[in-house]
Amino acid sequence: MSSVKDWAAPNPITENRSGLIGKSVDRYEGRLKVTGTAPYAYEVEPPAPPAYGQMVTATIARGRITHIETQAAEQSPGVLAVWTHLNVPPQARRGERLNPRSQRPANPALASDRVEFYGQTVAFILADTLENARAAAEKVEITYAAETAVVDFLASLDQGELPPGEEDVHIGDFPKAFAASQVTVDETYFSPIQNHVQMEPCATTAWWDGDKVTVHTSIQMVKGGQHALAETLAIPSDRVHLITRYIGGGFGGKGQAYDDLTLAALAARAVGRPVKVAYTRQQMFHGTIHRPAVQMRVRLGANADGRLNAFALEAITHCARHATFTEHAANFSRNLYAAPNRLTGHRLVRMDIPHAGAMRAPGEAPGMLSLECAMDELAEKLGLDPIELRLRNEPDVDPETGKPFSVRQLEQCLHEGSQRFGWSRRNPKPGQVRDGRWLVGMGMAAAIRGNFLLPAKAGLRITADGVLTLTQGMTDIGTGTYTILAQITAETLGVPLEQVRVELGDSDMPPAPGSGGQFGAATAGSAAYETGMVMRRTLADLATGDPRSPLYGADPTLVSFANGNIALDNQTETLAALVARSQPEGVYVEGSISPAADARDYSQHTYGAHFAEVGVDVVTGEVRMRKMFGVFAAGRILNGKTARSQVTGGMIWGVGTALTEANTIDPRFGSFANQDLGTYLVPVHADIVDLDAIFLDEADDKANPMGIKGVGELGICGAGAAVANAIYNACGVRLRDYPMTPDKVLEGLMAKGL
């Protein structure tokens, strides 16, 4: 394993001699995407004309299938097969693993007559065209024996239990300290169900060649998908070739495999031809995961000077009855503010609804909607500026573990954001700034998101023309992974960016953990860097050991790489010339990265500060964004353009979280009320004006060799709370039930007599 000492040493990235790291390089695959020539999973051209699959889904929340009438569907034009639980090809049982090292267990489709949630796949149609498959699907008639289902979260809060393997975290004596505090806040906040609504639905194109299946699918984790399909089909994982080159958005919702992958592979084997299967937009809402609702109670106790004496955040969330997932909405708070007496924990309600799962910044995104508003409520009671309250509670070490921070620039984010945003213009008294019929206010919130490094590998080949090709079983879900890996490789080997090729998303390539958890760039990038360093040493040995090279006999540790050349003093040759002469078939190497032995000795996080200005219409209760600004500290920034795009995208999502985004359960069916983009409301261009973000200079040598961290989830953390705090400053209406829709705001305005 690498050590922190090694990571702190100078290297080609920290020296940044070519200036590629941090540069706002255009997207590597951008032209392919804007011209429509980047094939997504459903668009891949198979080796023969495909058949098309259509899923039929359950219309009850819980119960059994008592009868399925499929004769009309089977006789429908172009139909090749109709499957139900009665005749689906054999699969492994749910949860089984033939290989104990598999990252995912079997996940069979159409496994039994049991219905566990509305929208569960209960039948499958395969036809010669998509239109024929959909027409036949309408002819399947299903009879159910419905059972009593738990679908109302708020009515089921008393059923909450400790999540498996978890306990509440107690530090000091919270009850005693809270009771003794001079100023207190005790409020409850609610964040609703949210859906990922990626532009690209989950989809798979599959075909078989003998006993090996090739699947092009839309998934964030290559090895996870490969292993899940192999276990489901009960075949060795090396018989599953999974490819996921381009992904039209993930946000955690494609972190696992779904029925499209399983059914496409099964059907392709059954009919001996390629098969395409995709979820409809409506099916995506139920057949894939969602962010669960969370109710959060925050209790803060402070002395008169604003220093926290007691701190508690307790969250209740929900999951599907047989698929445990906990939205850890309290975890982030354990590392954010100093307080000697603390209580944090979670409760989990099991329900008969579609599966809950990870969604951009799981935990922090809903959790910070509570704490960062509670901090503002406490600041008002204390007569302190909200920024000043946060600064007074800035910890010297991690508040829970006592570990030192690797790098913590939250204070700098707050100061820089305050100056650039114009926070000094804020009137601390709510409802004092008017612009016609609009009341105008400002709000802010802190941001935090943990930093992670996972094991990963990469491969690198250089050919006789000097072109370097990086290969890695990593994914790009629209974040810019292709681009930053090209930049890292070019910088490490000292070649122009045009000499680098990047190939991703293939289970035959050296494995990487995939995109998720904000660990993608740091993990995949560190593996790419280490592989580049292996290539540097290999080429240095090749040059200094070749009598035909001008570097022959030199110390290989002293050579340099720049401008496509390998050199020492005034002796130089191009990499292309070296490889063409010495290894005309090319040179291939692999490298890997693992967390440092002492990585857990430090508290590692990314930080930020959000600032928002809103207008509230006193007649309609409508809230309009007027300005938003974020300052972030997230390690070394690899690409200024893609990094800014990630955090501003998160900020925009935060606006949606605060103002529009929610789903509810129809108690009659256990279904989501909103099942398309016409009713599930996300921000559009007209909703977002004057939004910007910057990064502070930072390099965290405790994190990885390049000092980089992730940015994909940090932008949403706290963003919605900044909007909520701005609404209160504008009109004096404090809402704790997200989203803050016009009806809720108007009710608050009317209650205040405005």
Residue numbers annotated as active site: 713
- Tokens (6 digits) for 577: 């010339």
Instruction: Say how far apart CA 288 and CA 220 lie, in whole Å.
Output: 13
Residue 193 DSSP symbol = B
Q: Which among 730, 522, 738 has a CA at the least distance from the CA of 626?
A: 730
On the CB side of 687, how many CA atoms lie within 13 Å of its CA?
18
User: In what side-by-side order are the strands of the sheet with 114-115?
Assistant: 114-115, 63-69, 141-146
Instruction: Say how far apart CA 727 and CA 740 lie, in whole Å.
Output: 9
Instruction: Say how far apart CA 311 and CA 333 lie, in whole Å.
Output: 9
User: Amino acid letter at 532?
Assistant: G
Going by DSSP bridges, is the β-strand pair 468-472/500-504 parallel, antiparallel, or unpaired? parallel
Which parts of 192-262 are beta strand (E)? 203-209, 212-217, 240-243
**CB of 168 within 8 A of CB of 345?**
yes
- How crowded is residue 257: how many other Cβ atoms within 10 Å of its Cβ? 24
Q: List Cβ neighbours of 210 (8 Å cut-off, separation of 6 or more).
A: none
- Tokens (6 digits) for 707: 């000092």
Q: Which among 464, 454, 444 has a CA at the least distance from the CA of 522?
A: 454
- Tokens (6 digits) for 670: 């256990």
The alpha carbon of 637 is separated from its chain's Cα centroid by a whole number of angstroms, namely 18
**CB of 214 within 8 A of CB of 79?**
no
Q: Which among 742, 734, 634 has a CA at the least distance from the CA of 693?
A: 634
Phi, psi of 216, rounded to the nearest 5 degrees: -100, 115
Instruction: Say how far apart CA 396 and CA 404 lie, in whole Å.
Output: 8
User: Amino acid letter at 75?
Assistant: Q
Instruction: Say how far apart CA 666 and CA 512 lie, in whole Å.
Output: 40
Instruction: Say how far apart CA 654 and CA 650 lie, in whole Å.
Output: 6
User: In what side-by-side order are the strands of the sheet with 500-504?
Assistant: 500-504, 468-472, 456-462, 587-593
Rg (CA), the chain: 27
